[in-house]
Amino acid sequence: MLKYISIFFFLVFITNGNTSNKEKIIENLKNTKNLDFNFEQNINGKIENGNCTIEYPKKIFCEYAKSNNKILVSNGKSLVVKTITSYYRYPIDKTPLNFILDKNFLINKINILEERIVDRSLINYTINENDIEINVFFNKENYDLIGWQNTDVYQNFNITFLSSIRKNRILPKNIFKLPIQN
């Protein structure tokens, strides 16, 4: 009997030890309902930062620091970027965020893509969809999404880094309600 128990634990250890980065990232995504984080965004050399909350699928609310009260909000269908002086509204499916904010899409893509290890600490997948290339990055230690790079609807090169990530929190009601145009 002791022999069978030893073999069982050995097999469990081997199986868990051989779980791939891909499987761990997918499991982490499956277990994430929402996340909030600080971000730093570099768009063609212009750096902005702030805080965002994502709720899957396709909802995001971001407040930018020091920037005319700039916010970015998606209710899952439309994306609004609003400042004191401007208001832009886009269909979410016309933006790269349509893919980045859809964890089922990410899971399906990651399942079929090859990973690339960057600086021994990041796991990268390159997604090509509808003439859009998106590089998504995951932390090799905890398998959290920690950033992406893409070209936006205006052909600007966009790099976004996430930090201070918190997952599966209770979110304020109406956080993803689109702001009205002034």
- Whether the upstream peptide bond of residue 91 has omega within 30° of 0, thus cis, is no
Are the C-beta atoms of 181 and 87 separated by less than 8 Å? yes
% residues pLDDT > 70 (the chain): 90
What is the mean predicted confidence (pLDDT) over 91-102?
95
| Domains in the chain, CATH or no CATH each | 20-167 (2.50.20.10)
**What's the confidence (pLDDT) of residue 55?**
98
Cα 120-125-128 angle, rounded to 5 deg: 155
H/E stretch holding 49 reads strand 46-55
CA nearest 178: which of 101, 103, 81, 51? 81
CA distance 10 to 3: 11
pLDDT, one tens digit per residue, over 133-157 is: 999 999 999 999 999 999 877 788 9
Indicate yes or no: pTM above 0.75.
Answer: yes
Are the C-beta atoms of 149 and 161 separated by less than 8 Å? no
% residues pLDDT > 90 (the chain): 81
Could you tell me where the DSSP H helices lie in 31-145?
Answer: 97-100, 103-112
- Token look-up 């090169």 returns 157
Q: Which amino acid is at 157?
A: F
